[in-house]
Amino acid sequence: MSTTATETKPLKMWQGINQALVEEMERDERVVLVGEDVGRPGGPYGVTRGLQERFGELRVRDTPISEQVLVGLGVGAGAVGLRPVVELMFFDFALIAMDQIVNQAAKFRYFSGESLPLVIRTMCGAGGPNGAQHSQNFEAWYCAVPGLKVVMPSNAADAKGLLKAAIRDDDPVLFIETLGLLTARREVPQGEEFLLPIGVAETRRAGDDVTVVAIGRLVDRALEAAETLAQEGISVEVIDPRTLAPLDAETIVASIARTGRLVVAQEATAPFSFASEVCTLAAERCLPQLKAPPVRVASPFVNVPTPVPLAESRAPGADAVVAGIRRALEGA
């Protein structure tokens, strides 16, 4: 899998996703895109803008509002040799298609012995006046499903490289985009062969005193927190898993074993979450090296408010990550 590129271009995350779709659809005529308003409207946030005009209504198709039918369409398309990309407008709506995702797509290879190329793209988290039914983070639920890969990029470059890899993967991939990051800009490598491997974490910042494992838009906030604490001589290592399942446990364990402290930062609530799993990983594999109990930095266990200021105040900021790091340092 290639990660080389000769030039970069500053793109927002939605533009990086759009570029990945264009490149893969040009490369392979079996790649098709279906979803609610993905065609002429270009998606609710412009992610699929211009694709129907470029590739036609046969390959970029608007569908009725029925997520269960949508994912079922993707399962059937993948089973007969296409490489479908299904867009679910909000992550919350994946619950309607839970049976198709969990019992059909994820178990297809187990039951048939055949591959099922299928990418399910969806949008998670707060980032607008969308309310409690359109802003939730359920990534941990799907990480518990054998046969399903779960990817969650934190920037435009990773979104492009990981989406291209997901489309070329022969098994189902749940590709989670973060609403609050859609307009975040990053230098994105150009070229058809820029791909990032699924299942490999990235160390965003090296450090010696504490390990912070952050996902989604908490990655940038963790980096901001690390920069703030560096002024006090505190060295923070920030790891971005990028893929939640399969998780790159080796990178995370090696860091925790070296620093002796762990903070996990996420937008989801803490109970039964991705953060809980990483803390368990630390307890099972790094207990002798831990100098303090692991710390979870997460949203409070309440529904997402509709007013944007309230929704944003619910999500952990860089200050919450700083506070979490201090608790880990003081816990020894």
Q: Please give the pLDDT value at position 185.
A: 95
Rounded CA gap, 215 and 153, in Å? 8
Tokens of 123: 């949008």
Q: Can you give the pTM of this predicted structure? A: 0.96
Domain ranges of the chain: 8-189, 202-330
The one-digit pLDDT tens for each residue of the chain (332 residues) are: 556 557 999 999 999 999 999 999 999 999 999 999 999 888 888 899 999 999 999 999 999 999 999 999 999 999 999 999 999 999 999 999 999 999 999 999 999 999 999 999 999 998 888 889 999 999 999 999 999 999 999 999 999 999 999 999 999 999 999 999 999 999 999 988 999 999 999 999 999 999 999 999 999 999 999 999 999 999 999 999 999 999 999 999 999 999 999 999 999 999 999 999 999 999 999 999 999 999 999 999 999 999 999 999 999 999 999 999 999 999 76
Q: Please give the pLDDT value at position 141.
A: 96
Looking at 12, 121, 134, 217, which residue is catalytic?
A: 134
Rounded CA gap, 248 and 210, in Å? 18
* 154 is known as an active-site residue: no
Q: Is 242 left (phi over 0), alpha (psi -120 to 50) or beta?
A: left
Class of domain 202-330: alpha beta
What is the residue-wise DSSP string for 155-215? SHHHHHHHHHHHHH-SSEEEEEEEGGGTT-EEEEE-STT----TT--EEEE--SSEEEEE-
Q: Choose the CATH number for 8-189 among 3.40.630.30, 3.40.50.970, 3.10.50.40, 3.30.300.180.
A: 3.40.50.970
8-189 and 202-330 have identical folds: yes
Q: Please give the pLDDT value at position 191.
A: 83
How far the first Cα of the chain sits from its last, in Å, is 42
